[in-house]
């Protein structure tokens, strides 16, 4: 191996994007979606084999081994905290600015582009409720 890209760079490929207006007008709906996503992540983390079974039921034409391989490859790289560090946010925005050929003055700051407060709020609610994933 000449270069391990997972150690030399990071670019987010997932996440949830919405408009400021949605957040301002529908706080509970946004929180509901994030809470469901966090519960889903907790389920996947607790029961990766059951997750493969679930995916197989919904995708019966997919080869089982392909689903297992995908889970095995993606599981270690999943973003369990649901957030990224401030430095990762800066790198992400810079990379996307480069892709879009934007001058650095037009690349938003992390504070303007990211809001992880819903993840924190959802995690706090999940913990307070005592919810744990079950099969």
Please report, for the chain, the start and end positions of each structural domain, with discontinuous segments joined by +: 18-83+116-127
Please state, in angstroms and rounded to a whole number, the distance separating the CA atoms of residues 126 and 36: 10
Each residue's pLDDT tens digit, 62-87: 999 999 999 988 888 788 888 888 99
Structural tokens at position 112: 């303007």
Q: Percent of the chain, pLDDT > 70? A: 90
Write down the pTM of the prediction.
0.77
- What pLDDT score does 3 carry? 46
Structural tokens at position 67: 């689903």
b/e sequence 91-106, b meaning 16+ C-beta within 10 Å: bbbeeebeeeeeeeee
DSSP conformation class of 109: P
């Amino acid at each position: 191996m000449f270069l391990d890209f997972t150690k030399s760079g990071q670019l987010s490929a997932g996440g949830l994007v919405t408009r400021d207006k949605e957040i301002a007008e529908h706080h509970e709906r946004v929180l509901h979606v994030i809470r469901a996503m966090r519960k889903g992540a907790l389920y996947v983390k607790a029961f990766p084999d059951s997750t493969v079974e679930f995916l197989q039921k919904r995708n019966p034409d997919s080869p089982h081994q392909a689903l297992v391989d995908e889970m095995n490859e993606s599981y270690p790289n999943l973003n369990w905290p649901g957030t990224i560090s401030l430095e990762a946010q800066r790198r992400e925005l810079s990379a996307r600015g480069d892709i879009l050929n934007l001058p650095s003055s037009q690349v938003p700051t992390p504070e303007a582009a990211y809001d992880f407060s819903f993840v924190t709020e959802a995690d706090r609610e999940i913990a307070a409720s005592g919810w744990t994933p079950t099969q």
